[in-house]
Structure 1
């Protein structure tokens, strides 16, 4: 059988499986392979998909890999790398936006449930702010700071400026601990105190500050610290 016809048949089978049942039954390398085919018209993408998965360990690892690291994988070209980065960026935007309009009425865990997959396994700290209206409906969720979070790195003025721009009546702060330990540090306590005082000065409530560490979570409100 002609190699090109065999390759096209394999791609059609992958795509047909996806059309029929989504990603159910797909192995991680097959998902990566399917993504790579979108940027590689006539080349077998399976070896590159398997090599990428072997190097980065998981599907998430591949999607979060830096372009300079992806370039080291034989068979990955510029279009493939742009495609992988785009999928990752779209997924992040989706996870942020899907909570807009949701009601924060029951507990902090309702919020953490939406953001856990977004923050879990991150290697850098991210500081997010969730903006709520007077009915506790979520107006927006934004990543405000990235990197090692200290009281000097998180600027209350910028947080309040963004809250006023969103016409928020209340805020929930969320950040992750890449270490896997959800317990708040002294810096976390100082940051929370500064942010709460800044919010109170403009009559904006702070409902909670959540720390996500893997599958675990710490809530300042649940521990009587808000």
Structure 2
């Protein structure tokens, strides 16, 4: 949805003759709010709408300065963007789109990413057990093809690490993963030789397996579709 269409639906009026990359700009005015939306190029050389204005209710006087994209996925997401810019202010009689926009905040891109991050595959292993796993993996590094794959699988109770020569099973805590994940054997040379005496956390995010404070690039099997390829 073009953000210009959004402003029209929300009740913004067109204004002409302003400093903007493309006319018209838009303005919304109420008893406590004066807000303009102007298309500009931001400091990252990306075209955006700049929402700028003033909120005043007799006790509070605040400047508003916020950027939003030229295109939004839907009316609800667009209203959520504008409402997010005004989220700190208490309106005596807020417009309906403001109240609804605050309720639609889960449609904002960073909220979506936050939810995905919270749901990422992860588990926790006691350090005593994972220390044994690291020792077993390191003992195989010299005699194993460095391009061979090691799989990590967690069923909600047991983390299974399968190297070309051995299956290592470790008691772990967390929610079961919906698939196996693979890394190159050679990359595991970066595993620490010593562990701090605290639980070891593993998680999958943005195409990488993180073990403690070390991160390893995931590898897709031939013919396997990876979410991280898109």
TM-score by structure 2 length? 0.27
Highest relative contact order (Cα 8 Å, sep 6+), 1 or 2? 1
TM-score (norm 1): 0.28
Computing the radius of gyration from Cα coordinates, the structure with the larger value is 2
Point out the structure with the larger helix share: 1
Larger fraction in strand = 2
